[in-house]
Amino acid sequence: MLETIYTFFKPHLLPLLYALVIVAVLPLLAGYVVLLERKVMADMQARLGPMRVGPHGLLQPIADAVKLLMKEDIIPESADKWIFWLAPLLSVTAGMVAMAALPFGPVFQIANLNVGLLFILGVGSMGIYGIVLGGWASNSHYSLLGALRSAAQLVSYETAAGMAVVSGVILGGTLNTSALVNVQADQHVWFIFVAPIGFFLYLVASIAETNRAPFDLPEAESELVAGYMTEYSGFRWALYFLAEYTNMIVVASIATTLFLGGWLRPFAGTKAFNFLDYVPMLLMLLVAGYSLYRAPKQPVPIQKMVMVAVAGLCFGLAAILAAPVFIKTGIIGAMMPGVHGAFWFLFKVGIYLYVFLWLRFTFPRYRFDQLMKLGWHFLIPVSIVNVFGVAIASYLHRTEENGGHGWNLWAAILLTTAITFVIAAWLAKKGDRPPAGPVTAEKF
Amino acid sequence: MNLDSISFYFFAALAVISAILVVTRRNAVHSAIFLVTALLATAGIFLQLHAEFLFIVQVILYVGGIMVLFIFVIMLVNLDVAARQMQFNRMWLVALSLTVALGAQVYMVFHYAHSGVMEALFRLPAAPAAALEPNAEAVGISLFTEYMLPFEVASVLLLVAMIGAVVMAKRKV
């Protein structure tokens, strides 16, 4: 009996394990992204941010989670109970299922789908159902307005994001996520340098798709209380937040895989830059050393202990990252691509998320008509032109045996990017001009 | 019973049950949710048959398209009035006879396929899953070589529909 069960599950053991790791780690990660966001916000506004719970607020996410778990869960009397209950779950599930096709390293990937990139995009965008259904089921005007705004925003910006992804797919020639990274490794170039406009378009569209500031109109506090989650409280509300941060991590991972070389180290193919292998270990040692240095200065004994624990964790990670660099043989040496791949992947995702936060605290929120105008009159035309540009560049670069012209890659890229940029600048300038003639009531 | 057949029966049952619920729910939003479930279950069957491209197109186009349906339901249908209206019309006798006829046909197909009278006609040989080529590429290549003209015609048709919608929606300036 046990034997049958074992043989039945044997091919699925590793993916199951990976899935468990992701489901277990993700909420913790999302909590710490929230802490990071608050700290970055505080830094940009010349404040300290959370400082009370744990040293430098390090235990704040855990305290928040406990508080949200113990809060009363209110369901409005006139709400559609089932859908109200289902909606946040839908949002979280969509984000987590999308993670299944992400390559966190050459080994760490749950499902290596042939259409992986489309899978992540399609399943990830299903999270919007949670938002629309939650907003509708709350039976409140603020919620409904937030939900409809969210739907309109997604429909407008998904086209631009999809077109930006297409420009990367043209360069890679595949939809398979790990094959995309391998192509970038073979060509010795990240696609951000080949399709910079595509990356920029994806950055803007992905902020809009995850409903983040400056495009956070579905939950605009100054207009709609809290948008689609006005009526939510306690853990259901926390699930919406988890979904939002999961989606942020998913879009950051797509951008990392497609444009930033996925799990590859910078200059992965060049021997002269092999010293970069020491960087992850040194970074961890630096954090550990700083934590130890700060530990005696904490006011309360328990905070000293937490600081030492953080230092210990960083030392452990440094040891794991250092082992395959120094011992190149046997099972430890074989861990090298997996461990360092995961480090570089998460590092790039972290940088992308930092840009998200940076933009959030830099720009004021768009008005809804400005948002629509930016999407339809600027991003979508530019993204279509960009697809043409990238396609022409890769046609010019192709060797003559394959029906191309055998141009130098950089010459072709420079030419088409310049043309796309000129068209984009013209569109932006055209959009700035106020409509001709006096604006009357009939015009609106 | 291997994983393939388990997942097939799971998705098939899910599709059938949610398809029935689509027509029996009184609330239009609930119907739309079950339509999403039915389409997702169908997508699952495609994936189980190793048709990855069909699977993801089903998810993106159909399941994503229901989003717009939701908005129509929310904005156009008065749910309170709709809930009080009669749900089924009185033509059930016609519907029943059609259903019986269709059921009989389906039964006959299965019956003859198994009894071997016309086995060659009903039973197409299944290709082993391992021998299938990556079908996103295969679909793309056949669209842009063999079916180039129909593909372009379909694109132009969509473009015409889009321009028509814009012209109709645009107010006179």
- Per DSSP, the residues of A122-167 read HHHTTHHHHHHHHHHHTT-HHHHHHHHHHHHHHHHHHHHHHHHHHH
Instruction: Answer yes or no: do A250 and A294 share one domain.
Output: no
Mean pLDDT of A357-380: 84
Instruction: Answer yes or no: do A235 and A318 share one domain.
Output: no
How far is CA A100 from its chain centroid? 14
Distance from the Cα of B89 to chain A's closest Cα (Å) equals 27
The string over B138-170, giving b where at least 16 C-beta atoms fall within 10 Å of a residue's C-beta and e elsewhere, is ebeeeeeeeeeeeeeeeeeeeeeeeeeeeeeee
Task: Provide the pLDDT for residue A127.
Answer: 81
Establish how many alpha carbons lie within 13 A of residue A290's alpha carbon, considering only the half-sphere containing its beta carbon: 8
Instruction: Answer yes or no: do A103 and A213 share one domain.
Output: yes
* Assigned domain for A192 exists: yes
* Assigned domain for A257 exists: yes
Closest CA to B40 of A122, A47, A61: A122
Task: Provide the pLDDT for residue B98.
Answer: 93
Confidence of residue A432 (pLDDT cuts 50, 70, 90): low
Instruction: Answer yes or no: do A201 and A318 share one domain.
Output: no
Interface check for A8 against chain B (CB to CB < 8 A): the answer is yes
Interface check for A83 against chain B (CB to CB < 8 A): the answer is yes
A106, pLDDT greater than 90: no
Instruction: Answer yes or no: do A182 and A287 share one domain.
Output: no
Instruction: Answer yes or no: do A259 and A282 share one domain.
Output: no
Q: Inter-chain contact B60–A122, Cβ cutoff 8 Å?
A: yes
* pLDDT tens-place string over residues A244-284: 888 888 889 889 888 888 888 787 777 777 777 777 778 88
* Assigned domain for A115 exists: yes
A426, pLDDT greater than 90: no
Choose between A223 and B40: higher pLDDT: B40
Measured between beta carbons, the chain A residues lying within 8 angstroms of B173 are: 443
Contact A335, A324 (CB under 8 A): yes
State the ipTM, two decimals. Answer: 0.74
Confidence of residue B101 (pLDDT cuts 50, 70, 90): very high
Domain, as residue range, for A289: 272-334
Domain at B1-87: CATH architecture: Up-down Bundle (1.20)
Instruction: Answer yes or no: do A316 and A248 share one domain.
Output: no
User: A353-357, B45-49, B103-107: which has the minimum mean pLDDT?
Assistant: B45-49
Q: What is the pTM of this model?
A: 0.82
Mean pLDDT of A80-95: 86
Boundary (domain end) residue, out of A319, A334, A349? A334
Report the chain A residue with the minimal C-alpha distance to residue B68. A151
Q: Mean pLDDT highest for which of A76-85, A197-206, A287-296? A: A197-206
Choose, out of B29, B40, B60, the residue to mutate when testing the contact with A (most A CBs < 10 Å).
B60
* Assigned domain for A305 exists: yes
* Assigned domain for A109 exists: yes
Instruction: Answer yes or no: do A321 and A186 share one domain.
Output: no
Domain count, chain A: 2
Distance from the Cα of B71 to chain A's closest Cα (Å) equals 7
* Assigned domain for A382 exists: no
Domain ranges of chain B: 1-87, 90-132, 134-173
* Assigned domain for A411 exists: no
Instruction: Answer yes or no: do A328 and A253 share one domain.
Output: no
Boundary (domain end) residue, out of A322, A349, A365? A365
* Mean pLDDT (chain A, rounded): 81
* Assigned domain for A96 exists: yes
Interface check for A155 against chain B (CB to CB < 8 A): the answer is yes
Q: What count of other Cβ atoms lies within 10 Å of the Cβ of residue A77?
A: 7
Distance from the Cα of B124 to chain A's closest Cα (Å) equals 26
Confidence of residue B97 (pLDDT cuts 50, 70, 90): very high
